[in-house]
Amino acid sequence: MTDSIQITARDDKPSWTKTRGGLTLSVRMGRFALPYHHDEFRARFSERDIRFVINDASGRVVAKGTFEEWRQDSTDPTGIDGFRFALENISNEWAKLSEVIFYNWAGEDEMAEIPFDHGSVLVFERLEIKAASAAESNVAWSLINEIIARRTTGRGTACLMILKAFPLEYEGNKKVEGFERSRGALQRLYRKRLSVQALPDEYHEWMWRRFSPDVPAPALTKREDPAIGAF
């Protein structure tokens, strides 16, 4: 098995590509942008999308997906509170993300160590895989892990990855028969392929993996949620 790597700076083409085992990974890295800022909190957070597609030699899509990467652009000690507050009023998706991060990593006081003290947070937002064989699936997963490795190794990279294990076939209706069984199977797959583990208690649908030993383990906080009653 051989690899070939190509990097380009043009906006209309992939940021970088990699070929392995007959499959080609194309990655498009967005630029960090500030989606929202509330003057009450000096902490600022910016976000970018990382989109990828994996094709075979004929152009067939074997896998595709999206990461979101969030970084703190300020050293304000109330950073995680600012993150929770700012994202609450943008969209349901971002509100839930900020809730998960706040309740699992806010600590016991505003001065507690948080993931953003050690790097950005990588959110594996969406993944679709349609591999034609087990061998093709193995190559596709190795390429996906290549993306993660590049965004979690070295300076200025992510220290934590989180994702929600949600079977895409149940989008819009997770109460139908078989959902819990499918989600459990997906969590087992993610544990095997991505080395993630489930968050505790009511956030067990979400999974996490740290890439810095300095990132504290998740522990449900008893602090007051700064977003409750804010709007």
**% the chain with pLDDT above 70:** 85
DSSP conformation letters of 42-67: ---EEEEEEEEEEEETT--EEEEEEE
Q: Which residue has the tokens 């709007």?
A: 231
Task: Report which listed range, 39-53, 63-77, 92-106, is most confident.
Answer: 92-106
216: helix, coil or strand? Answer: coil
pTM attached to this predicted model: 0.87
Whose structure tokens read 């190559």? 139
3 pLDDT more than 90: no
Edge-first strand listing for the sheet containing 16-20: 3-7, 16-20, 23-29, 45-56, 61-72, 120-129, 158-164, 206-210, 197-198
Which domains does the chain carry? 3-210 (3.40.630)
Q: How confident is the model at residue 180 (pLDDT cuts 50, 70, 90)?
A: confident
Please write the tens of the pLDDT for every residue from 114-159.
899 899 999 999 999 999 999 999 999 999 999 999 999 988 899 9
pLDDT grade for 2, boundaries at 50, 70 and 90: very low
